[in-house]
Amino acid sequence: MPDTAIQDLSAPYDRPLQQDLDRCVHCGLCLNACPTYRELGLEMDSPRGRIYQMVQVAEGNLAINEEYVEHIDLCLACRACETACPSGVQYGKLVEAARGQIDANRRLPWWQRLLRWFVFDRLLTSPFLLKVTGYKLWVLQKSGLQRLVRRLGILKLFGHLAEIEALSPAVETPFFFDKVGKVFPAEGETRRRVAFLAGCIANISFARMNEATVRVLQKNGCEVTLPPDQGCCGALQVHAGLRELGRRQAKRNIEAFESGNFDAVITNAAGCGSVVKEYPELFEHDPEWHERAQAFSSKVRDVTEFLAGIDLNRSLAPIPARVTYQDSCHLLHGQKVRTPPRVMLAAIPALEFRELPLSEICCGSAGVYNVEHTDMSMALLEKKMQMAGTTGADTIVTANPGCMLQLRVGAERFGSGQRVMHVVELLDESYRKAESKQAVRSEHPRERFSLARLWLPRDRSSDWPAARPRVRFSLKQLWLLLAGLETGVLAGSAVLLYWILATTLSGEGPWAILNLIGSTFFPARALTAGFSHASVSGAALHVLLSGVVGVVASLLLILYVARPVRSLWVGMLIGVIWYLAAFLWIWPLLSSAVVTYAPRPTMLVGHVLFGLGLGLYPFFVRRLGMS
C-alpha cells in the first residue's frame, strides 16, 4: 500500500527529473564507492537506495517524511558514485534536486528557519557581515578566550557543540576583501587575462591561500582581475536545497564576469568550482539565463586544471618534503579533474610524492556536513588519517578549503600533526623560495657567508604582493641592541617588581637596586648581583626575574633595532654566546662577596638563562604575528 502522500509544493524544475532517475539500472557498482554505505552497510544509505526512494516519491508511493529526509541528508553528495557508475547517472544533480524538493515541502522549526536565513541568505552573501564576523572571531582566537574555553571543556556540556567548534576555521588577517576590485599585472609578458573568483568565507579564513593563487597566476604570465561585483558562488545554498538563493548568486556572478572577455575564470575551491561549472543546470527552465550560464561556465577552470593546460613557469625551488594528495571530491568526481594536481606536485623539485590509498573516498567535510553530521564525518576522517599515516608523508595537500579544514582537524586529532596545504600554496612556496634565492644572489653575487645574512630575517612582509626592502646590518645596530637590552632591565614596572620582591625575600631591597643599576654598565651584573645575597631564595629570585626581564626587554626593544633573526635556534645561540662572553669578561671585576656567595656553576646557569631570553624573542614575535 502506498505511503500517505502529500502535495508536492516544489517547482517542477526543483525536483529530480524522471529522465535522470531512469538512467539508474540498479547494478550496485556504486555501493563500494559510497562512504556512508561503506560505514553503515545500509541499502537505503547508498546511492542506489536513495535513487530508489526518489523514484518512489516521484511516483507518489512514498511521502517526503522524516525517514526519507534522514536518508537524503545523510548523503555527503561527494559524487564518488558518479565516477563508479557505468550508466552515467548524474547523482549530484539528483540529490541536490531532491533536497530542493524537501526544502519546499517541509516546515522547519522557527529557529532553524531563522538560522538558515541568516547564514545562507545574509551572512555568506554580505562582505560587510563576513568582515564583522571575521573580526569578532579574530578577537576570540587571538585573545586566548577560544583556547581557554576549549581547555575548560565548557562546550562539552552542550552536546556536540565542542566538536563543532573545533571545526571553526582560523581567521587570517588582513582579509582578502580589499583585493577584490583590483587588477594584478602579470610578471613579465602578459600571455593571458584571467579573472579570479575569490569566494566568501575564503576571504577571511583562507586569505593567504587566495593571495598565493594570484601570485602563482602572475608568475605564469597572467593578468589577474578580481571583478568588484562578484560574490558568494551559491554552492553551499545549492547543496542545502536552497536553489532559488543559488540562482540569485549565480546571476550575480554571471553579470560580474561575463563582460570582461577573460580567457578563463579561475577558482581555487573545488566545491565552488563544481557548482559554478554547473550553473546551466540551475536555469534549465529559463532559456535566456541558461545560455548566459553556459557561456560563463565554459570558461571556469580550477587553478590546477588551468596551470596544467599552459606552459608552466618552471622557476621552482626545491622543497624537500614527503607529500601526499587527498582528492577533493568535487574536483575529482564533480569536475573530473584528477591528473592536474599531481602534475603540479611533480613539477616541484626535491618533492617526494606518495600516493594516498583510497584518496578518492571523501574525508567527511562535504560543505557543512561535518557540522550537521559530526559523528559520521569524524568516523570518515579517522579512517582517512589512518590511510594518510601509512604514506609516511609530513604534508597533506588537497584542492579545496573545506577539505583543508577537515584534514587539519584530522592531523591534530587522529594524525601526527601533518602540515595541510592547498596545492597552489605549495607551488607559491616554491616560487617564493626561488625568488628569494635569486634576490640574494643579485644583491651579493660573490658573498658566500656573512654575519648579516645569519642575523637578519627572511622577508616576511605583509605588504603583499610587493616585497619590503631588506634591512642592512650595521655595528651601530648591534651596539644599540646590546645597550638597549641592558638599559631595558631598568625599565618601569620591572624595576619596581624587582625591588619589592627582592626586599620581601632577602631583606636587602636597597642593595638589589644598586646591583640593578650596575647592570646598566656591565651586562652580567643583572644576574650576578642576585648571588650576593646569602639566601638561596634571593639568588633564585634574581635569576628568575632577570630571565623574565630579559625576554620582555628583548621583545620590546630589539624590535626597534634589528629585525627578527632567520632562525629561532640561531638567535638563542647568539644570545648564549654573548652572555657567556660577558660572564667571562666581568668575572675578574666581581667583588669577593659575590664570589663567596655565587658558586661558578650557578652563575653559568644564570647567564645561559639570560642568553636564552635574548634568543627567544623571535618566537614571541612570530606568535604575536608581528613579523
The whole-angstrom separation of Cα 603 and Cα 624 is 31
At residue 426, what is the residue type? L
Give the pLDDT score at 78. Answer: 94
Give the pLDDT score at 169. Answer: 84
Give the pLDDT score at 112. Answer: 87
User: In this structure, which long-range contacts are made by residues 383-386, counting pairs with CB atoms below 8 Å and at least 24 apart in sequence?
Assistant: 384/326, 384/358, 384/410, 385/410, 385/411, 385/413, 385/414, 385/415, 386/414
Q: Which CATH number is correct for 322-430, 1.20.58, 2.30.29, 3.40.50, 2.60.220?
A: 3.40.50
Q: Are 120-313 and 322-430 in the same CATH fold?
A: no
At residue 602, what is the residue type? T
Report residue 171 as a C-alpha cell. 581567521
Assess whether the previous peptide bond of 465 is cis (omega < 30° from 0): yes
Give the pLDDT score at 6. Answer: 56
Give the pLDDT score at 426. Answer: 96
What Rg, from alpha-carbon coordinates, does the chain have?
30
| Residue 625: DSSP 8-state | T
Give 411's Cβ-side CA count (13 Å radius): 19
Q: Name the stretches of the chain with pLDDT < 50.
A: 1-5, 447-473, 476-537, 539, 543-544, 547-549, 551-568, 582-607, 609-611, 613-627
Give the pLDDT score at 371. Answer: 86
Name the CATH superfamily, with its identifier, for domain 12-105.
Alpha-helical ferredoxin (1.10.1060.10)
Q: Which CATH number is correct for 120-313, 3.40.50.300, 3.40.47.10, 3.40.50.12280, 1.20.1050.140?
A: 1.20.1050.140
Which residues lie below 8 Å from residue 464, measured CB to CB, with a gap of 6+?
Answer: 211
Q: What share of the chain is helix, strand, coil (3-state, %, to 5)?
A: 60, 5, 35
Give the pLDDT score at 602. Answer: 44
Q: For the chain, what are the domain ranges?
A: 12-105, 120-313, 322-430, 475-623
Give the pLDDT score at 572. Answer: 52
